[in-house]
Structure 1
Amino acid sequence: MSIVETSAIPTTSTTRLIEDYSIEITAKDVESLRRAAPGIAADAPVAVTFLATETMDQRIAAATLVRSLGLEPMPHLSARRIGSLAELEVMVSRAAAEAGARRMFLVAGDPPVPAGPFEDTMALLRTGLFERNGFRTIGIAGHPESHPVMDQAAIWAALRDKDAEIRARGMTTLIVTQFGFDAAPFLAWLTELRSRGIDAPVRIGVPGPAGIKTLLRFAATCGVGASASVMSKYGLSITKLLGTAGPDRLIEALADGLQPAHGDVRLHFYPFGGVEKTIGWINDYRATNDGAPARR
């Protein structure tokens, strides 16, 4: 797959939608990724999160492993956790040189007070480090349901400004959304996104198969709607805190609702139940629906 995402999905079939997915890992998931790799399509994007409990060396090693497995690394950077311009320069240059990374995903981060000079994603972009180090695609976050500290007007303004800055620097924007359990907010958000003239490719955040307690815990942490009615649509009952569910219903509802006007839309999996379990679910789902699991 090309590093720059350009080809739109021409149909809304579930099998077409699940093709060309991406997945997220932490630096501690490297052995799980290694075991799962034979079941992952070649060149699939793999995002490496920026956790405060992991070191720069661990993140770079994880991104380097992703590349060695024939996959496409997309390291994350959290602006407010970076202590200096020199630290940022090392992170960006090492990701490019050691992992061959050509995608980077940027977020402001959770700390209320920045550790260094970077308040937000725009501050990172304005250093010029990404284009100078050969990065071609910059990922930014989409929030179809909510944001912990910004209202809707501010969210849309920030998304517009980041997209314009990335393009002005000769790179391509990729929007990856927070995960959700209900297709309706995603579809409404996509409609508004396109009406605002933002035509960047979008990857919709999908929870990998996991137990309901795990899913609810992540939902509470991330501010994602997980009411009884929403979870019922997803295939789970909040009143029965046992059992595991995959995102079958969510993906099918997305496929039913997506229209050509929604543009280039694909899936990004958050493997809350584990990398191997998520990849196994994807391949089983593909095999059941079209008989063509994405194996190498």
Structure 2
Amino acid sequence: MDANVEQLEQSLLNARFEVLPLRGVVEQAELLPAGTTVTVTASPTKGTEATLDVAAQLLGRGLHVVPHLAARLVADTAHLTALLDRVEGMGLSEVFVVAGDSPEPLGEFPDALALLRKMDELGRKPARVGITGYPERHAFISDASTIRAMTEKSRYADYIVSQICYDPHAVASWVKDVRTRGLLLPIYVGVPGVVDLHRLLRISLKIGLGESMRFLRKQHGVVSKLLTRYTPEELFDELAPYLVDPTSGIAGWHFFTFNEIAKTVQWRHDMAARLREVPA
């Protein structure tokens, strides 16, 4: 097998899967091979404790579990310490730090950077910490703010996961810009899994993905053509050359499954099979 094809296949097989802490997700995760990295989001309505409850169940299924710690859901230093105690007690060595979707912070941590700084101050940073990056202009946050925040957060982090962006050229340009600014952390490219398009569009509007939604409509003409489901095939094909380029520092894929795990796993299987059919 061609070395690049083999690398692309491995990138699929080693992809990270992000899930929501909702009923039934643990059973769905049985479709994932043991050792798969599964990240568990933090819900403003359920709190971080629910995230850790699901993480514990997934850990029991032999998965490598990465709970999200949402800064706006942490009340104070004592609460943070209790969460980190539980993470450590579960034997987890990795967390993913985000600001969180709550409109107002629960306590003293308004953003991910504040939480990261406190973890560092306490000497409680887990062995591996991930942070978010934004490949496209954010509807609610200025470019200067996102760039400055990622630069500051990178001092406490081990890798970056990019937010959803449907435009592969925007993702590639962003990766280049990140490297130009001197940030060398590995980047996992965040892409939606196989998701109902109506649902994906609603989520995209909620998190402020204006520009790449316009790209999606332009690429596919009338959105009604895609009303059944979205697949990341185009993103995979367009970004494959960058993934196999060692100078890009792309570590792999991060699937936002929105708990459509079975469909995303099947897509991964089909894509890997397609790669193996490509003549050397």
1:263 is matched with which residue: 249, 267, 270?
249
CA distance in 2, matches of 1:62, 1:273: 13
CA displacement at 1:256 relative to structure 2: 3.2
Distance 1:152 1:226, change over 3 A: closer
Overall identity of the aligned pairs, in %:
28
CA contact (8 A) 2:93 2:126 kept: yes
CA displacement at 1:58 relative to structure 2: 2.3
CA contact (8 A) 1:228 1:237 kept: no
CA contact (8 A) 1:209 1:273 kept: no
CA displacement at 1:281 relative to structure 2: 1.9
Indicate the residue corresponding to 2:85 in structure 1.
93
2:16 is matched with which residue: 16, 22, 31?
22
Distance 1:130 1:20, change over 3 A: farther
CA deviations on 1:129-159 (whole Å, 9 max, x unpaired) are: 6984561111111000123433222211211
Q: Which amino acid aligns with 1:263?
A: G
Gaps of 5+ in 2: none
Q: Which amino acid aligns with 1:109?
A: G
CA displacement at 1:103 relative to structure 2: 1.0
CA contact (8 A) 2:48 2:73 kept: no
Distance 1:175 1:92, change over 3 A: same
CA contact (8 A) 2:29 2:58 kept: no
* Structure 1, 221-230 or 50-59: larger mean CA deviation: 221-230
Indicate the residue corresponding to 2:198 in structure 1.
213
CA contact (8 A) 1:219 1:226 kept: no
CA contact (8 A) 2:257 2:264 kept: yes
Indicate the residue corresponding to 2:25 in structure 1.
32
CA deviations on 1:156-177 (whole Å, 9 max, x unpaired) are: 121111112x1xxxxx521011
* Structure 1, 237-246 or 176-185: larger mean CA deviation: 237-246
CA distance in 2, matches of 1:191, 1:206: 18
CA displacement at 1:182 relative to structure 2: 1.7
CA deviations on 1:214-272 (whole Å, 9 max, x unpaired) are: 22111111222344543454x57414462223111110111034433211331100113
CA distance in 2, matches of 1:236, 1:41: 37
Question: SS at the partner of 2:258?
Answer: coil
Matches within 5 A, 1:243-282: 243-258=228-243, 259-272=245-258, 274-282=260-268
CA distance in 1, matches of 2:103, 2:46: 19
Distance 1:154 1:229, change over 3 A: closer
1:144 aligns with 2:135: yes
CA contact (8 A) 2:166 2:215 kept: no
Distance 1:163 1:242, change over 3 A: closer
Question: SS at the partner of 2:189?
Answer: strand
CA displacement at 1:42 relative to structure 2: 3.1
Matches within 5 A, 1:1-296: 11=4, 14-28=8-22, 31-37=24-30, 39-98=31-90, 100-128=91-119, 132-133=123-124, 135-164=126-155, 166=156, 172-224=157-209, 225-227=211-213, 229-231=215-217, 233=219, 237-240=222-225, 242-258=227-243, 259-272=245-258, 274-290=260-276
CA deviations on 1:12-56 (whole Å, 9 max, x unpaired) are: 764244231101112215x3343443x424322211111012144
CA contact (8 A) 1:216 1:226 kept: no
Indicate the residue corresponding to 1:3 in structure 2.
none
Question: SS at the partner of 1:245?
Answer: coil
Higher helix share: 2
CA deviations on 1:61-93 (whole Å, 9 max, x unpaired) are: 211122212211111111122212211111111
CA displacement at 1:196 relative to structure 2: 1.0
CA RMSD of aligned residues (A): 2.5
* Structure 1, 224-233 or 206-215: larger mean CA deviation: 224-233
CA distance in 1, matches of 2:70, 2:47: 13
Gaps of 5+ in 1: 1-9, 167-171, 292-296
